[in-house]
Structure 1
Amino acid sequence: MPLPVMSFLWGFSLENATSSRASEMQHSHDESVIPQQFKLPLPPLTVHPTGFGLFDLRANLLGGKSLNRFSSFVVTGTEDWVLNGAREELHSGNRAHYEPRRTSDPGGNPKMPKETERYFVETPPSWQEKIPAFSVIVHSSSKRNSKITGAYTMYSVTSMFPPPSTHITVHRRFSQFVFLHAALSRRLPGIAIPPLPEKQYTGRFNDDFVEARRGDLERWLGGVVRHPLARYAEVVTFFLGCEDDIEWKRRLPGFLAASPTPGPSFYSQVFHPAFNVDAEEALDTVNRFERHVKGVGEGVYNLRIVYNRLRESSADVSLSLKAFSYQLFSLITSSPASSAPIPHIPKSTVGLSTPDGAWCWREECDECLVLTKALQKMAECLQTVADLHDDHARRTQLATHEFMKHAAHPKELYAPVVEIHRSALSHYLDHTSEIDSSGRTKDANIAARCETVLNATMAEFETYHTQKNEDFRRLAIEHLDGEIALHEQVLSRLRIARSAFDDPPDPTIIPPGPRRPSIYERHESQAARMAPSPLVQPTPHVFDANSAGLRPVARAVREGVGMLFGS
């Protein structure tokens, strides 16, 4: 019923009720003339309930649809599925749980859906895994040229399956990764698909950028294939296995064709145990999940900041060790580490060192010669230790720092799933609560379809639970393994430096004869004045604040409309 008409009727009812009561009060002095048998108790004055006005407005004007047409519940087609079901459904009544759903082709003959398009939810809600997990690596990037599209970067993608060991390698460019992301979003609208890294327009052939992009694509593709549903999706198999360019071009339009009903096409093939949704538990689950992922996101954000400081401290240790090493060279050679020798002016070493290179004023001093060689060995070992710390900060710790992006922003990633869950739960409550004075009609089919959506969203929550444990376990192991490997190498160098001071000295460590100048002495003055290059930082995550200006237009509009409607 239109809102003005509803307001008019409510006002008319109140006016009649008030007028009736006033008339009764006006004639109350004539009660004595009314026979006793005709005196009836007056009903209490009541106001018509208006608490369900929004529901009635949505039900009557919008056919039960949401006011926010940019919400994930709407754009994924979930609302269409909840209200109307699948267009090709032949059965009626409750969901066929764990029973094959038959569909009809245009000719009317029933046919079974593809196995890759049937999804099962187990108890407690979690996606059933049909095939074992496998891994993918992205490697061997190379620059290619095309007369049509110009220069681009090609990546090798190798899929490695469990025993019997099988490897499949294909070659893909960034635009093909974009295709895979778009196709998955259309065919699996009910799952959380991680975002691709932003498209780069400048400096995209820089070596550091190409390596960072390769790592980002490998982590993204690894996140796709470890999802229990996306792992066996037909488009993923096509992406990882099609090696023929002609076959790729032939089948590509079919995957790119937008499904007119992405939500119904997905949810109509979701099967789950019957009557396993409790509304109170579903609400409590989404509240706890949303609070948890928010805390994880804030914690990982701070962890990435602190880890960057840890990398910088490793680089600072490298600089300090190098400075200490150069100062040792300066000490035993009696030459300032911060100044270069003046050309054409010979430098006198009389009284500073012997002709054999011993750090002593005596003409011949074997004891000081041995000590000088040992100090030189120590300075050389400190140089290698400094290089180990620098490489650790720039390579090993950078890889760990990059991996932290994989666990970042779970709140933003799962926001669409949470929104779908809350909207489906709202419809579920509307169609399962007791009949009230508003006279709302209940639809058991809508309630059953809401139950299917809630099973899917809670299965996604469980998928995050599993993946979060895997991510942080791997993160901790990689960091500890890297630190152990670093300190084991540092320890071996320090032991070599320590053995140079043994008595008698090991001839393999301290060779006999005069002291030979170290390679580091030649570059001592130049290295002391060289500023190290800054540490390479991980490329920003799509949801990072410094990449907010690069958000896709559709997402920016959807967020703005969501703020407008309070969702």
Structure 2
Amino acid sequence: MQESPDLENVPIDKPSSIQHDDLKELSYSMEIEKESGDQFVSVTVTEPQKVGEGMGAYVAYKVFTRTNMPLFRKRNFSVLRRFSDFLGLHDKLVDKYLRTGRIIPPAPEKSMTKIKMSNQSEQGSSAEFVEKRRASLERYLNRTAAHPILSVDPDFREFLEADTELPKSTNTSALSGAGVMRLFNKVGETVNKITYKMDESDPWFEEKTQQVENLDMQLRRLHGSVEMLVLHRKDLALLTSSFAKSAAMLSNCEEHTSLSRALSQLAEVEEKVEALHNEQANADFAILCELLKDYVALIGAIKDVFHERVKVYQNWQHSQLMLNKKREQKAKMELSGKPDKGNQASVEVVEWEAKVERGQEEFDNISKMIKKEMERFEANRVKDFKAIIINYMENLMTHQQQLIKYWEAFLPEAKAIA
């Protein structure tokens, strides 16, 4: 199956301007890290390229890594990976670390949100889809690389380093047996989340659960508002374009020379303003919209790890219930004078006591780990939002300053109408 629409139209080996800017930012951040002497792993996803033909075609991405960590064989290296490889990596990390209380950065969605960014041809829409996916894959890998444990995981290092095609991940296919089972499991998990309510004894978790729910709701609202802002800016660009064309047509039939020249100049300025509106809409999407979408997904990952703690608690309580039953059975056997069965019951009691002890230990461990992970999440969230707000404001100011320059240059032409 194809992993993205209209693969025939995907441009090959043509990095966009956004990729170029990302590389410059990456280079700058890496220089800072080198100066500080900290260990780091920085990943850039570039050069989406079509592999194969027909129904078996897919898009592969160049994953370029820079690091100073001794666990890696080289400091700079690159590999080619397809989208299903990213999903396979995420599944492996979830299987390994979710049960321990780690917050696993979510993998990009298979079907990404489609915001009509401009009235482009079919080829442009396909290239836009691939670019959005490329950017989301890059953010996913860097979030994983920033985690102190996940960054040194053998599967993650193999994903970045192994210069061979990874074994095909059958679990990522929706039509595979594993995919169907995963769908059933998700339905079961959803039902379990709704039906089972844990009697929370830790005030921290009670407060944090409510905070996560509120954060999720507000982030979704803000994400929706930014999406509407992007669409309105695009509408404004279209209307500005229409105004420019009308002004140009009017200038052609205007007999008054200076007025005709002013209208012609006005049309040119409005065309430039249209381009600015489009650029600002694209910046709103790339800077704000995508960050918010990432954090909505991260909140989902936090909810998953919170629910994993509930599952551990369920297992612990089940073991406690079974231990109580075995103790009752043992007492009955002793009272009925059946030593053989009583001995067997004693063995079972010891086994279930060990299970209860392990269950409580696992519950205590996952609770401690979640608190540690949440502390890290909060610190990163503040840092991410600070960087994004500054970036967004600087971008907005740049566009506004350019807009002022356009109108200041046109003003003498308007005053010259006589």
- Report the TM-score when normalising by structure 1: 0.47
Structure 1 Cα separation of the partners of residues 78 and 390 of structure 2: 28
Matched, 1:180 2:100: no
Matched, 1:384 2:267: no
The equivalences for 1:514-533 within 5 A come to none
Q: Is the 8 A contact 2:106 2:297 kept in 1?
A: no
Q: Quick one: structure 1 residues 501 and 480, their matched pair in 2 at CA, closer, same or farther if it must change by over 3 Å?
A: same
Determine the structure 1 residue equivalent to 2:144. Answer: 224
Structure 1 Cα separation of the partners of residues 306 and 242 of structure 2: 54
Q: Quick one: structure 1 residues 161 and 480, their matched pair in 2 at CA, closer, same or farther if it must change by over 3 Å?
A: farther
Q: Quick one: structure 1 residues 156 and 410, their matched pair in 2 at CA, closer, same or farther if it must change by over 3 Å?
A: closer
Matched, 1:193 2:104: yes
2:145 partner letter = V
Structure 2 Cα separation of the partners of residues 445 and 397 of structure 1: 50
Aligned-partner SS, 2:107: coil
Q: Is the 8 A contact 1:286 1:421 kept in 2?
A: no
Q: Which runs of 5+ in 1 are unaligned?
A: 1-130, 253-279, 335-351, 354-358, 360-368, 505-567
Determine the structure 1 residue equivalent to 2:20. Answer: none
Determine the structure 2 residue equivalent to 1:459. Answer: 372
* Structure showing the higher helix proportion among its residues: 2
Structure 2 Cα separation of the partners of residues 391 and 397 of structure 1: 9
Aligned-partner SS, 1:219: helix
Match of residue 137, structure 1, among 41, 44, 55: 44
Structure 2 Cα separation of the partners of residues 412 and 305 of structure 1: 17
Q: Quick one: structure 1 residues 153 and 446, their matched pair in 2 at CA, closer, same or farther if it must change by over 3 Å?
A: closer
Q: Is the 8 A contact 1:283 1:425 kept in 2?
A: no
Per the TM alignment, residue 426 of structure 1 is displaced from its structure 2 partner at its CA by 7.6
Number of residue-to-residue matches in the alignment: 307
Identity of aligned residues (%): 21
After superposition, the C-alpha distances for 1:7-28 in whole angstroms (9 at most, x for unaligned) are xxxxxxxxxxxxxxxxxxxxxx
Q: Is the 8 A contact 2:251 2:261 kept in 1?
A: no
Structure 1 Cα separation of the partners of residues 159 and 111 of structure 2: 22
Structure 2 Cα separation of the partners of residues 142 and 427 of structure 1: 47
Determine the structure 2 residue equivalent to 1:107. Answer: none
Matched, 1:212 2:123: no
Determine the structure 2 residue equivalent to 1:304. Answer: 223
Aligned-partner SS, 1:311: helix
Structure 2 Cα separation of the partners of residues 145 and 445 of structure 1: 51
Per the TM alignment, residue 323 of structure 1 is displaced from its structure 2 partner at its CA by 3.4
Per the TM alignment, residue 446 of structure 1 is displaced from its structure 2 partner at its CA by 5.4
Q: Is the 8 A contact 2:40 2:69 kept in 1?
A: no
Report 1 or 2 for greater relative contact order, CA contacts < 8 Å, sequence distance ≥ 6: 1
Matched, 1:397 2:291: no
Per the TM alignment, residue 502 of structure 1 is displaced from its structure 2 partner at its CA by 6.5
The equivalences for 1:370-519 within 5 A come to 370-393=258-281, 395-400=282-287, 401-422=289-310, 447-501=360-414
Per the TM alignment, residue 422 of structure 1 is displaced from its structure 2 partner at its CA by 4.2
- Of the two, which has the highest radius of gyration? 1
The equivalences for 1:45-64 within 5 A come to none
Q: Quick one: structure 1 residues 475 and 324, their matched pair in 2 at CA, closer, same or farther if it must change by over 3 Å?
A: same
Per the TM alignment, residue 380 of structure 1 is displaced from its structure 2 partner at its CA by 0.9
Match of residue 154, structure 2, among 209, 215, 234: 234
Q: Quick one: structure 1 residues 480 and 424, their matched pair in 2 at CA, closer, same or farther if it must change by over 3 Å?
A: same
Q: Quick one: structure 1 residues 376 and 294, their matched pair in 2 at CA, closer, same or farther if it must change by over 3 Å?
A: same
Q: Is the 8 A contact 1:424 1:454 kept in 2?
A: no
2:406 partner letter = R
After superposition, the C-alpha distances for 1:523-554 in whole angstroms (9 at most, x for unaligned) are xxxxxxxxxxxxxxxxxxxxxxxxxxxxxxxx
Q: Which runs of 5+ in 2 are unaligned?
A: 1-37, 113-121, 170-198, 329-348
Structure 1 Cα separation of the partners of residues 227 and 258 of structure 2: 42
RMSD: 4.0
Structure 1 Cα separation of the partners of residues 358 and 56 of structure 2: 54
Q: Quick one: structure 1 residues 283 and 221, their matched pair in 2 at CA, closer, same or farther if it must change by over 3 Å?
A: same
Aligned-partner SS, 1:196: coil
Per the TM alignment, residue 391 of structure 1 is displaced from its structure 2 partner at its CA by 3.2
Structure 2 Cα separation of the partners of residues 472 and 464 of structure 1: 12
After superposition, the C-alpha distances for 1:275-306 in whole angstroms (9 at most, x for unaligned) are xxxxx997111111111111111111111221
After superposition, the C-alpha distances for 1:178-213 in whole angstroms (9 at most, x for unaligned) are 221122122223322233334469x99932332222
After superposition, the C-alpha distances for 1:290-349 in whole angstroms (9 at most, x for unaligned) are 111111111111112211221122123223333333333344333xxxxxxxxxxxxxxx
Q: Is the 8 A contact 1:296 1:410 kept in 2?
A: no
Per the TM alignment, residue 488 of structure 1 is displaced from its structure 2 partner at its CA by 2.2
Per the TM alignment, residue 141 of structure 1 is displaced from its structure 2 partner at its CA by 0.2
Structure 1 Cα separation of the partners of residues 372 and 56 of structure 2: 44
Q: Is the 8 A contact 2:45 2:64 kept in 1?
A: yes
Aligned-partner SS, 1:188: helix
Structure 2 Cα separation of the partners of residues 379 and 163 of structure 1: 56
Q: Quick one: structure 1 residues 450 and 333, their matched pair in 2 at CA, closer, same or farther if it must change by over 3 Å?
A: closer
Structure 1 Cα separation of the partners of residues 368 and 389 of structure 2: 32
